[in-house]
Amino acid sequence: MQANDARRAFPCFDEPAMKATFDLTMVRSADMTALGNGPLVNTEERDEFWVADTFDTTPYMSPYLVAFAVIDYPHLDFTDHVASPGFSGAMENWGLVHYMESYLLYDEAWSPTYRKIYVASVIAHEVAHQWFGNLVTCEWWDETWLNEGFASAMDYMALAPIDWPVAELGLYEQVFPQLEDDEYNTTATLRPEIPSPWDAWDAFSWTAYNKGASMVRMMQQILGPDTLQRGIQVKHNNSEIHYLKLQAAADNVTDVGGGPLDVASKMDSWINQIGYPLLSVQRDYLDKTVTFNQEKYNPFGLDQPSSPYE
């Protein structure tokens, strides 16, 4: 139901920051099976043809994560992954992840290898969202890149144990396409202005996914894996924290030098403007000097929007 379709299914305060618990009862045909966000706790026969299933209370979560399904095939009693005909994309509903069929189904007999990699990365992405997005949620849609960027970074990091070339896959699938998009002056910033719920989908650009993942990897390299991991652990171990903002994720975490971890000074110029820098290096062999020059990469000479960082 992301971004704001929960209000079409039931009355609610349909905003990401307005979290609540949800109790779901579904009435379904007796020959079908109902699924919800939580485990089934009670089944009541209404008559010869209809059954009412009641599910356990959901975790404290945003309304857009409420999900239900009625199926006619077996399932496992833990987080359900459901391929839905006619569904577009994939959605990380807590405990009941939905996929379009091609994002979940794979057949060793006829599916090419790249489909196996893609299906695995999509599943890793949606499972990562159970933490980045579901447990800790962006307070407003302008920080969607944090949800999608962290989950997208996990697309391939999570596949490392099966000995796939995850670094190369991340470059090919995420970094290179974003560099191409950022050649133009019409791409979106990572943190776009979202004035109303009806503009929420503007936050779900490929920039949020691909450049967001690149920023997470860059933070890991700048801060060090241990420092970034501590920031994530502090964020998720504090049960009073339910909303994700970039600097808040680093509060109470020190950098490698022992001082306060100031994420904003390192990342804001990447988040609030489009494009990326071109770094030129010139070596003078006679003077034995090296000169560095940085400018905005603009191969087509396009007019660029103003930036507070120039």
Binding residues for Zn(2+): 125, 129, 148
Q: Which of 88, 93, 105, 217 lies closest to 152 in space, CA to CA?
A: 217
The burial of 148, by beta-carbon neighbours within 10 Å (0-12 exposed, 13-18 middle, 19 or more buried), is given as buried
Of 149, 127, 143, the C-alpha closest to 17 is: 143
Buried b (16+ CB within 10 A) or exposed e, 192-220: bebeeeeebebbbbbbbbbbbbbbbbebb
- Residue 22, φ and ψ in degrees, nearest 5: -130, 135
Place of tokens 């920023």: 215
| Residues of each annotated binding site | 125, 129, 148
Of these residues, 126, 173, 180, 240, which one is catalytic?
126
126 is catalytic: yes
Catalytic residues: 126
